[in-house]
Amino acid sequence: MSHLDDEKIALIAMGEPAGSDADTQHLVECESCAAEVADMSRVALVARSSVVEGDLEAPPADVWSRIHGELRLSDAVAADPAADPASVEAEPESESIPAPQSVSDPEPVSEPDAVDAERERHRNRTRIRSRRRSSASVWILAASMALVVAIGAGVWIARSLTPSSAVIASAELAAFPDHPDAVGQAEIDDDGDGRRTLTVTLEGDELADGDYREVWLIREDGQALISLGVLDDASGTFRVPDGVDLDEYRLVDISFEPVDGDPAHSGDSIVRGELDFA
């Protein structure tokens, strides 16, 4: 009878859909393979529970370097976050090897005794093969669980290093009388590190030949304004300069501008709206 290979036993023990109907029937009929799957299932259960409640084993030193390179992280986080500088790897204890026993010449045995001896040797070979396969399956399962932990750690680290962006203000941009079909929206985003961006969308306007559209922040009293850039498409995102007080410059304006070399506002506003801070 051919047995299931070590990799398939480990995958079945982890709950993966790796076995066929024939493999399932084999597990019903083969006590040896069924026992190995049961042992591996207990190992998997301990491994999963230890990920949540116990202390994790430190992954190999090259795991973080591969994660670092794959995610293209900066040199500031090149050091392995799981490394313990005070830890010292212990030398593995050498396994004791029993001294060989002297083998005397076998005594003549009767035919029934010879049959029993052959059966015993077959059972011993089966037990040795089962132990070897169990050991290999344990290593395969342990490597699989270590890979899962390493991938989870890499995802968590990548997320923790990526600043989270949040919308801090928005505005509905109303049309001016000369552009009754225009409608727009604006949002201010803060990335958590103090960098702010303005995203605007504009629909319903018609761009005349020789004109372009420009995005502005205007002071509430209308006495000062800041140009953020040219809106080439229906939407665009612009960096808000550091130091600009959005409580003061809270009007968002999009205007038509002629190509005349004059950086001042043309006075031909398409839409405008006041930022509302949530």
pLDDT of 81: 65
Give residue for tokens 């050498």: 94
Q: Retrieve residue 173's tokens.
A: 């941009």
51 membership: H or E segment, kind and range: helix 31-53
C-alpha separations of 232 from 191, 200, 256 in Å: 24, 11, 12
The Cα 136–Cα 128 span in angstroms is 12
Instruction: Pinpoint the residues of the chain covered by CATH 2.60.40.
Output: 166-277
pLDDT of 24: 78
pLDDT tens string for the chain (278 positions)? 678 788 877 877 777 765 677 877 777 788 888 788 777 777 766 666 554 444 556 667 677 677 767 666 567 657 766 666 555 344 444 444 454 454 445 555 455 555 566 666 656 666 665 555 556 666 676 676 777 667 766 666 655 555 567 999 999 999 999 999 999 999 999 998 889 999 999 999 877 777 899 999 999 999 999 999 999 999 999 999 999 999 999 999 999 999 888 999 999 999 999 999 97
Q: Retrieve residue 28's tokens.
A: 């019903």
Per-residue DSSP letters for 196-246?
Answer: EEEEEEEES--PPTTEEEEEEEE-TTSS-EEEEEEE-SSEEEEEPPTT--T
The Cα 63–Cα 78 span in angstroms is 12
- Mention every residue, 6+ apart, whose C-beta is less than 8 A from residue 221: none
Specify the pairing of strand 276-277 against strand 269-274: unpaired
Q: Retrieve residue 222's tokens.
A: 């209308």
The Cα 252–Cα 236 span in angstroms is 13
In sequence order, the β-bridge partners of residue 203 are 183
23 membership: H or E segment, kind and range: helix 21-29
pLDDT of 49: 58
Check: CB of residue 23 under 8 Å from CB of residue 8.
Answer: yes
The Cα 149–Cα 4 span in angstroms is 27
Q: For residue 205, which of 178, 229, 187, 225 has the smallest C-alpha distance?
A: 178
When the candidates are 1.10.357, 1.10.10, 2.60.40, 3.30.70, the CATH number that belongs to 166-277 is 2.60.40
pLDDT of 92: 47
96: helix, coil or strand?
coil
- The stretches of 72-163 forming alpha helices (DSSP H) are 111-161
The Cα 244–Cα 258 span in angstroms is 27
